[in-house]
Chain A
Amino acid sequence: MSFVLRNVRPLGGAEVDIRISAGRISAIELSGTIATDGAIEVLGAGMVLLPGLVDLHTHLREPGREDAETVETGTRAAALGGFTAVHAMANTDPVADTAGVVEQVWRLGRASGWCDVRPVGAVTLGLAGSQLAELGAMADSPAAVRVFSDDGKCVWDAVIMRRALEYVKAFDGVIAQHAQEPRLTEGAQMNEGAMSALLGLTGWPAVAEEAIIARDVLLTEHVRSRLHVCHVSTAGSVEIIRWAKSRGIDVTAEVTPHHLLLTDDLVATYDPRYKVNPPLRTAADVEALRDGLADGTIDAVATDHAPHPIEDKDCEWADASPGMLGLEDALAVVNTTMVESGRLDWAGVAARMSVAPAGIGRLSEHGRPIAVGEPANLVIFDPSASYVVDPNAGASRSRNNPYAGRELTGRVRATFLHGDPTVLDGELVARSNV
């Protein structure tokens, strides 16, 4: 099937028409110059065209917590958010610490067809931090795992971390670290600072993140491997990563949409919608994260989309599960916080939300230039459409949306995955043929 995208602006540039056929971009011409020629027309009306977004950090919850999310519902949410590839985190039940589990997740992703699903393999057996999982078997499986993470748990043991960093060099893997010193965060409920003192909630100090990142970049330098830092949340972490990069250490980092927008004073509501790990930080941290994302210290935006069923949030703060939805509103949050403030242009957004994450995950078909012959993984985004977030309107099975009731700017109008639309006019497209 062929498509002609009319009047779209690749990376926010001049308006063009784009023909998509056989899964690839087959022509890019001046607006109005490509003949329809039996293709389906999609009217861009001057909207922004970006390469399909790539998420390095998604919790799809399957297998094990299908009451929170499934590969099917999670990838629907991804498509609506403009994503064409997601990395499914390993903290499922059973944990994705064997070739069997990562292959299962990979096959579920293929069957759903809403976006490409790249499983993340656990670093250690059962995320327990003591024994390496069979990283090579997961890398060699059809799922071709390249990103390994114990996300939710920190690989706190320096020797295990060192070995993991060394071992994955054999197959060009990367260790994605959830940086959280466990002893400093026992019972931690929120960012440690003025708000935690007032609210009587146990603090999660910034140093617990920064100390692990500092250790890990030095380990990475020592064994000449590749490190990715998950969900950077503090100003100090940005400084350490900036320093590490200036030394030539092969470290990359991600920031979540919620850490770019929300601050810890929201915890004063004791509403567990705002409970997340790492926790929401201060306005000064948010500023530093935006700066870090703008100057490239932070390479990527990753959602840490973490669905939870209602009962896991409809309770006391201390009992609630940490985590927030992110896929469907990520691009609007980045638009609102980074583009509208002039800190990133659209090429910058493409770099942080598609090119860099695809590179870190070693995805060859994503994060590509918008050029003839390239795979047609694309998203059309209307940067001026504002909306009030309705947590009940999403495709995710869960409702723990931290932006509920908040006005954001920018909406995904269409998403193309390997040449076929998954979203048109902001709605999912039935995909019986995939």
Chain B
Amino acid sequence: MKRHLLSAADLDLPDALLILDTAAELAAVADRPVKKLPTLRGRTVVNLFFEDSTRTRISFEAAAKRLSADVINFAAKGSSVSKGESLKDTALTLEAMGADAVVIRHSASGAPHRLATSGWIRGSVVNAGDGTHEHPTQALLDAFTMRRHLAGGVGDLAGLDVVIVGDVLHSRVARSNVLLLRTLGAKVTLIAPPTLLPVGVELWPCSVSYDLDSSLPTADVVMMLRVQRERMSAAYFPSAREYSRRYGLDVNRMKLLQPHTIVMHPGPMNRGMEIAAEVADSPRSVIVEQVTNGVSVRMAVLYLLLGGSELSDGSNGVPVSEGRPL
């Protein structure tokens, strides 16, 4: 594995499978009475959040704590433009405190990349969502969830038909999912109004459609993306109602799905907008389970980035010996 996790494109197939397999092993810890492993004792993980995201921060915090790492939450309100401290000075401060890993959420695309490549810090950088760029651990937890439901919990996702619907243009979740799902062998179709697809999307390793209904009957996974109502004011679509009629997953559309098809959403949901409450709460919905899996996947990422090097000696990279978490 590379030293940082900045993009889903950083992961080749063996890396991606290693993370998913490790996450599966670590998931068992959550079922124990004592949900804690000593693996990262004495290591420091900093959650550096320049953007509010309680659910992602808590997920990383729980993951680090279950591995016995020391966790520092650093909520840096605003960025250097709003006259806070600059990213560089924040990074130098964290470095001086001895951070082994920095989990960063930032509104600027590429901020984790800057943190990792500018020589400001020595620790590993984990991208927890940067602007409209990527959110690789979200893609990993999505893949983990799909694998559990549709691939027997092992191996890759070859042949799986995944439909991702919504505001692709502004979605870091969509970008990371397209990249990771391609690596894992799934077939991805992006569905959105033309205004919410980036110029250049035709070069992505996936298909693109403006029509939701025709893609649903063959889908194994339907992933709905959050659509912010304020996109309306920038004329991306005429009204929330029209968006919902054309691209929302409601009860009628749910009837088009195959029996085994699962419905996913990275959250937070706009119930009644991109997804109807009946769908979100239906047995097909794995949305709550995605949250649970998020902790396991993030445990695996932190474990492999921080401890993986001393464990992989002389082996195929799979955790072995006394460092083995189980």
5 CB < 8 A contacts A-B: A197-B201, A198-B175, A201-B109, A314-B118, A318-B109
Does A269 make an interface contact (CB < 8 A)?
Answer: yes
B199 and A205 contacting across the interface, CB-CB below 8 Å = yes
A199→B79 CA distance, assembly (Å): 19
A-side contacts of B204, CB under 8 Å = 197-198
Residue from A195, A311, A314, A315 in contact with B200 in the complex, judged by beta carbons closer than 8 Å:
A195
A-side contacts of B182, CB under 8 Å = none
Does A316 make an interface contact (CB < 8 A)?
Answer: yes
A269-B117, A316-B106, A317-B108 in contact; A199/B133 too (CB < 8 A)? yes
Q: Which residues of A from 153 to 202 have beta carbons under 8 Å from B? A: 189, 192-202
Does A203 make an interface contact (CB < 8 A)?
Answer: yes
A195→B110 CA distance, assembly (Å): 13
B197-212 Cβ-contact flags toward A at 8 Å (1 or 0):
0111101100000000
A-side contacts of B81, CB under 8 Å = 319
A257→B117 CA distance, assembly (Å): 27
A201, A203, A315 interface centre (most CB from chain B within 10 Å) = A315
New A-B contacts (17) at CB < 8 Å, excluding given A196-B200, A198-B204, A271-B117: A197-B199, A197-B200, A197-B204, A200-B110, A200-B134, A201-B110, A201-B131, A202-B132, A203-B199, A314-B86, A315-B86, A315-B88, A316-B80, A316-B106, A317-B108, A318-B109, A319-B108
B-side contacts of A205, CB under 8 Å = 199
B198 and A203 contacting across the interface, CB-CB below 8 Å = yes
Cβ-closest chain B residue relative to A194? B200
B110 and A316 contacting across the interface, CB-CB below 8 Å = yes
Residue from A197, A201, A269, A316 in contact with B87 in the complex, judged by beta carbons closer than 8 Å:
A316
A-side contacts of B203, CB under 8 Å = 194, 197
A311-B86, A315-B88, A317-B110 in contact; A200/B199 too (CB < 8 A)? no
B-side contacts of A199, CB under 8 Å = 109-110, 133
Does A346 make an interface contact (CB < 8 A)?
Answer: no
A200 and B86 contacting across the interface, CB-CB below 8 Å = no
B111 and A316 contacting across the interface, CB-CB below 8 Å = yes
B113, B118, B134 interface centre (most CB from chain A within 10 Å) = B113
A199→B109 CA distance, assembly (Å): 7
A198-B175, A200-B130, A318-B108 in contact; A192/B80 too (CB < 8 A)? no
Q: How far is the CB of B2 from chain A (nearest CB, A)?
A: 16
Does B172 make an interface contact (CB < 8 A)?
Answer: yes
B107, B133, B134, B199 interface centre (most CB from chain A within 10 Å) = B199
A192, A315, A316 interface centre (most CB from chain B within 10 Å) = A316
Which residue numbers of A lie inside 8 Å of B, CB to CB? 189, 192-203, 205, 269-271, 311, 314-319
Does B260 make an interface contact (CB < 8 A)?
Answer: no
B-side contacts of A189, CB under 8 Å = 109
Does B77 make an interface contact (CB < 8 A)?
Answer: no
Q: Which residues of B from 255 to 312 have beta carbons under 8 Å from A? A: none
A194→B321 CA distance, assembly (Å): 45
A196 and B198 contacting across the interface, CB-CB below 8 Å = yes
A189, A193, A271, A319 interface centre (most CB from chain B within 10 Å) = A319
Q: How far is the CB of B222 from chain A (nearest CB, A)?
A: 23
A-side contacts of B79, CB under 8 Å = 316, 319
A202→B117 CA distance, assembly (Å): 22
Does B114 make an interface contact (CB < 8 A)?
Answer: yes
A316 and B114 contacting across the interface, CB-CB below 8 Å = yes
